[in-house]
């Protein structure tokens, strides 16, 4: 007699990462997706989960998470912090995160790399690490501390390559790294994303040719699109290979600019991010970032100079925003939060989609996009 655990989820529309599918049941075995079958042909001798309406979708994938639930990765770069962040965001439907360390001291970066490698081995939903700085442009630093911003050196490349365990994104400015170092990172399987950069379109295109594959929080902290000086924004929008991160919170980017980017890139070229800080996913409204007081005002996070300091949203909030405020179809919004980031990170086939062999990380949304259930490898989670 088999001791395998089999489940069948039915009664809801299925979003498989690309399209909505009606009258289908999802069969899960031992935490992985086994099959999608017509509802009438679903197995009857297994654990049945009748969802009674709504949408069953892959768990959300957030590739830029600074904190959440009161935790902040820079403040305590440990595996325990990553576990706390992952748990907080999981309660909001995000089953995979890339903990993000922003520009800081060499000691903090080294600790973050070690913590992320350990967490990727032991913490469900922890994918690796997003290194956002210090290899950025001080002219587009945003809330990053100028004292730690510096050019990338060969030994930095070696440190990042050796530290890679799981997925790794490195956000950098072309002027701080150069095409040769970008090519070395890309050849090692690291996703190079351009951001915090005062770059010309020509500099951006050279970085893309060297292997950069993404742009971090499009429109924010970068050279803007002009008719004769397209900047990093224009270069990213013009290149179909480039995936653009987008903070859809109604504060970081104007609705019209978001619509323009999505119209140009499509749901396969935009990967929503939260850029979440400690107030997201149930954290307090005031927190300290590298000795500076940050506060929440409405849906904005600000320092004492009113500089935007990340966001207070979760990725599910971003999905709701692009559906409710921008009027996008739910399938497109969900694709930008599941299949597209999974593909960017090289994890498509494992997460971000409902296909045989993928991990059964699932969310159930009702018709108003309220979260009704979360499963991690087929196991129900508290929401």
| Cα–Cα dist 103/136, whole Å | 8
| Beta strand 55-58 pairing with 24-29 | unpaired
State whether the Cα torsion 213-216-220-223 is positive or negative.
Answer: negative
Q: Which residues of 324-361 are buried (b: 16+ CB within 10 A; e: fewer)?
A: eebebebbbbbbbbbbbbbbbbebbebbbbbbeebbbb
Q: Whole-angstrom Cα distance, residue 167 to residue 155?
A: 20
Tell me the C-alpha distance between 367 and 144, whole Å. Answer: 39
Rounded to whole angstroms, the Cα distance separating 371 from 54 reads 10
CA distances from 118 to 60, 78, 121 (A): 22, 9, 5
DSSP 109-122: HHHHHHHHHHHHHH
> CA-based diameter of the chain, in Å?
70
* Catalytic residue selected from 104, 275, 348, 361: 275
Assess contact for 68 and 281: CB atoms under 8 A.
Answer: yes
Is 275 an active-site residue?
Answer: yes
Contacts of 306 (CB under 8 A, 6+ apart): none
- The DSSP code for 84 is H
CA distances from 242 to 164, 213, 351 (A): 22, 5, 20
Place of tokens 């360390």: 101
Distances (CA, A) of 71 to 110, 175, 296, 300: 19, 32, 15, 18
- Of 287, 18, 310, 276, residue with least CA distance to 142: 310
**Is 34 strand, coil or helix?**
strand
Q: Which of the residues are catalytic?
A: 275
């Amino acid at each position: 007699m088999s001791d395998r655990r089999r489940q069948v989820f039915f009664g809801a529309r299925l979003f498989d990462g690309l399209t909505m599918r009606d009258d289908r049941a999802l069969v899960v075995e031992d935490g992985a997706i086994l099959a999608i079958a017509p509802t009438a042909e679903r197995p009857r001798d297994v654990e049945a989960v009748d969802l009674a309406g709504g949408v069953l979708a892959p768990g959300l994938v957030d590739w830029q998470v600074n904190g959440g639930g009161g935790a902040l990765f820079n403040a305590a770069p440990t595996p325990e912090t990553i576990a706390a962040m992952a748990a907080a965001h999981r309660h909001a439907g995000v089953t995979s995160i890339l903990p993000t360390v922003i520009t800081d001291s060499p000691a903090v970066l080294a600790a973050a790399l070690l913590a992320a490698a350990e967490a990727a081995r032991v913490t469900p939903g922890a994918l690796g690490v997003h290194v956002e700085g210090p290899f950025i442009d001080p002219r587009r630093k945003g809330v990053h501390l100028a004292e730690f911003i510096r050019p990338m050196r060969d030994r930095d490349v070696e440190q990042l390559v050796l530290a890679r365990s799981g997925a790794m994104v490195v956000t950098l400015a072309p002027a701080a790294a150069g095409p040769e170092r970008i090519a070395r990172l890309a050849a090692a399987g690291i996703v190079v994303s351009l951001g915090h950069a005062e770059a010309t379109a020509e500099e951006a295109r050279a970085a893309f040719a060297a292997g950069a594959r993404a742009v971090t929080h499009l429109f924010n902290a970068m050279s803007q699109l002009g008719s004769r000086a397209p900047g990093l924004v224009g270069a990213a929008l013009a290149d179909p290979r480039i995936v653009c991160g987008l903070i859809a919170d109604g504060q970081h980017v104007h609705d019209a600019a978001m619509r323009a980017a999505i119209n140009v890139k499509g749901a396969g070229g935009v990967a929503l991010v939260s850029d979440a800080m400690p107030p997201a996913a149930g954290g307090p409204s005031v927190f300290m970032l590298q000795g500076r007081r940050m506060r929440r005002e409405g849906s904005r996070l600000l320092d004492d100079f009113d500089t935007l300091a990340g966001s207070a949203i979760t990725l599910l909030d971003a999905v709701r925003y692009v559906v409710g405020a921008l009027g996008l179809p739910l399938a497109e919004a969900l694709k930008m939060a599941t299949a597209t980031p999974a593909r960017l990170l090289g994890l498509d086939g494992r997460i971000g989609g409902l296909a045989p062999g993928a991990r059964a990380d699932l969310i159930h949304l009702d018709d108003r996009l309220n979260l009704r259930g979360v499963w991690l490898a087929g196991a129900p989670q508290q929401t």
